[in-house]
Amino acid sequence: MAKTATVERRSIDFIPPEERHGSPRSLMFVWFAANTSITAVVTGALFVILGNSALWSIPAIIIGNAVGGFFTALHSAQGPKLGVPQMIQSRAQFGYFGAILPLVLALMIYVGFYATGLVLGGQAIGTLFHVPAQIGAMVFALMSTALAIVGYRWIHRFSHVAAVLSAVVFVILLVRIISDGNIRAVAETPAFDGAAFVLGISLSASWQLTFGPYIADYSRYLPESTPKKATIGWTFLGSVLGGSLAMTLGALAAALGGKAFGHDQVGYLAGLGGAIWPLVLLAVILGKLTGNTLSSYGGYMSLATIVTSLAGKDRVGTRARSAYVIVISAVSLGIALAASSNFLVNFTDFLLFLLYFMTPWSAINLVDYYWVRKERYRISELFKRDGEYGRFNKGAFIAYAVGVLIQIPFMNSSLYVGPIADLLGGAEIAWIIGLVVAGGLYYLSSRAVRLQTADTVRAHSASQHTQNPAPAAAALEETL
């Protein structure tokens, strides 16, 4: 097992059994910290800005986080079972070279969230230390880079501190908002806008679903014997609790603060903290630092996987690993420093864009893992150009393309409103259509693989029965 004080040695390669460690409970802290960030608060504010009342924003937030968090948490079980990063698993569905497509999209997610995090994190550092926000963003990028380089174990440890501080501070801020005399007038506005409500659910589901490419990266060091229910359950709990808390805070703050909140989200929250304003800013910094580090860490692995696919390599050295992290940070910082002042509108478009393209990938990945191959993969074949999973999988590409295209009539964004979305009054259900269609088409196109998997399972069961009938019977009874 690697020493705690050393920089992580592994990158996109398989984690051997002797290096596995940790408890699935740690996943709750990782995902709670990642979700209780200022970016999630801003996402919650969008519920009110898009037309929801503060009162109706809360159930939309909870429903969206629970639905999106469920599908996202299912990816978490892949980490202990397979022992490789989340996105490299796409080679089993799309092929060795075909996986470059979802990897590029995932890379866009990482860089996009990293850049938006630097904008808000830079504001927090700037407010706390009385320096320009641009300087704060640079400092923030350096901290994210350092934490991503030291790697997995330290990311988990840091998230424990960030999660506890964020929980305490966000609850205090929520209590202060609720106890404000003016919040009653806001809460007594029960107007219900069905389209805005559905769009709000989609936004919070989008927030959760766009974590899909991240998930298994932070469970892949867990022992393979880790119970699937525990891995999924702790991930779901941390994600949904964290996301719901932060977004509810954002919705209420936007309703109460109006233009003051929209102009300076970080400053407004600090003002709500009163005497504990430095602690509020520290919570914002640590929470956002967790999310940025996850984006930097996942981004370098996606970039490394793309490069090694083209170069025909199966691993990345420690120096190259650090170089990839630095490249991701530099690009994200450049975007952050050039960010538009119309941040909230641009961020809404960004979230919906990611949702349209990543939902079909998530559906294909989960259907393949749970229903097609039934958790049975040959890890060594993931690293071979002409291995079992091939170079390109036409069925996966067709399912993905149809899953994206079929969403167009249902889309609702500032760039395009589909005809069906228009008929529904602007309600956003495109992601549901993409999820069902892409997953269903991939399942139908994978009949040969399903039959082969069934034969493998039967042969394995027969072998176990021949060698030791009692354990085989017990295992069959447990399955049924």
pLDDT band at 326 (very low <50, low <70, confident <90, very high): very high
Share of residues in the chain with pLDDT > 70 (%): 91
- Taking each helix axis from N to C end, the angle separating 194-209 and 430-445, rounded to the nearest 10 degrees, works out to 50
What secondary structure does DSSP assign to 332-387, as a single string? HHHHHHT--S-HHHHHHHHHHHHHHHHHHHHHHHHHIIIIISTT---GGGGG-TTS
CA distance 72 to 209: 6
* Tokens (6 digits) for 16: 């051997």
As a whole number, mean pLDDT of residues 82-104 equals: 94
CA distance 215 to 73: 7
Question: Is residue 257 situated within a structural domain?
Answer: yes
As a whole number, mean pLDDT of residues 97-105 equals: 93
Q: What pTM was computed for the model?
A: 0.89
Question: Is residue 381 situated within a structural domain?
Answer: no
pLDDT reported for residue 479 = 36
pLDDT reported for residue 19 = 94
Q: What is the CATH number of the domain that holds 139?
A: 1.10.4160.10
Question: Is residue 362 situated within a structural domain?
Answer: no
pLDDT reported for residue 189 = 63
Question: Is residue 75 situated within a structural domain?
Answer: yes
Q: How many domains does the chain have?
A: 1
DSSP one-letter code for 17: G
> Mean pLDDT score of the chain, rounded to an integer?
87
pLDDT reported for residue 190 = 61
Domain that holds residue 176: 17-351
pLDDT reported for residue 473 = 40
Whether 475 shows a pLDDT value over 50: the answer reads no
What distance lies between CA 371 and its chain's CA centroid? 22
Element (H, E) at 323: helix 318-337
Lowest mean pLDDT among 248-252, 352-356, 357-361: 352-356
Question: Is residue 428 situated within a structural domain?
Answer: no
pLDDT band at 477 (very low <50, low <70, confident <90, very high): very low
As a whole number, mean pLDDT of residues 173-180 equals: 86
Question: Is residue 135 situated within a structural domain?
Answer: yes
Question: Is residue 458 situated within a structural domain?
Answer: no
pLDDT band at 77 (very low <50, low <70, confident <90, very high): very high
Question: Is residue 441 situated within a structural domain?
Answer: no
CA distance 480 to 472: 12
pLDDT band at 451 (very low <50, low <70, confident <90, very high): confident
What distance lies between CA 343 and its chain's CA centroid? 21
As a whole number, mean pLDDT of residues 313-319 equals: 83
pLDDT digits (tens, 9 = 90+) for 132-143: 999 999 999 999
pLDDT band at 351 (very low <50, low <70, confident <90, very high): low
Whether 21 shows a pLDDT value over 90: the answer reads yes
